[in-house]
Amino acid sequence: MSADNPFQAFAKARYINLETVRKNGAVVRTPVWFAAAPDDPGKLYTYTMAKAGKVKRIRNNPQVRIAPCDWRGNLSGDWISARAEIASAEEAARGSQLLNRKYFPVRMLMNFFAWISRNQRAGIVIRPA
C-alpha cells in the first residue's frame, strides 16, 4: 500500500469484494461496484439498497475488509482492512457521480430501474483502517 494512495491496488479493478461481519461473528463477502475519488485517494464509494444486510452490518461494525475481485467475487488481489460508514447525503451524491461515470451506461439503466421500484439506496464510504 502506498502512503499517498492506500487503495492503489484497486486502481484497475472493476469490483471489490466487501467483507462485513454479522453480530454472531460470521463474515459475509459481497462483490460490489465501487469508485475512487480522484481528489481523495483515501476514499472508495459504493452503494446498495438501504435495507440491505450489509448496511445493517456496517452500522453494527464498521470494520470491513476489501479485495479486488471479478463480478462473481473471485479475488484478484489481497485483502486489506478498511473502515466503512453510511455516507452523508453530500458524500452519497459525490459517490453516485463517480459511480455513474465509471459504470456508464449500465449504471444509468440501473438508476432508472431503482427509481421505478422506488427502492431507497444508501451510499457507503470506505476508508483505510
Confidence of residue 104 (pLDDT cuts 50, 70, 90): confident
Q: C-alpha cell of 123?
A: 451510499
Average pLDDT score over the chain: 89
Interval 70-77 mean pLDDT: 96
Tens digit of pLDDT for each residue in 39-73?
A: 888 899 999 988 999 999 999 999 999 999 999 99
As beta bridge partners, residue 102 has: none
Confidence of residue 9 (pLDDT cuts 50, 70, 90): confident
N-term to C-term CA, the chain: 12
Higher pLDDT, 41 or 114: 41
Q: At 29, phi and psi to the nearest 5?
A: -110, 130
Do the Cβ atoms of 88 and 14 come closer than 8 Å?
A: no
Question: Is 2.30.110.10 the CATH classification of the domain at 8-128?
Answer: yes
Closest-CA residue to 48 (of 114, 100, 104, 97) = 114
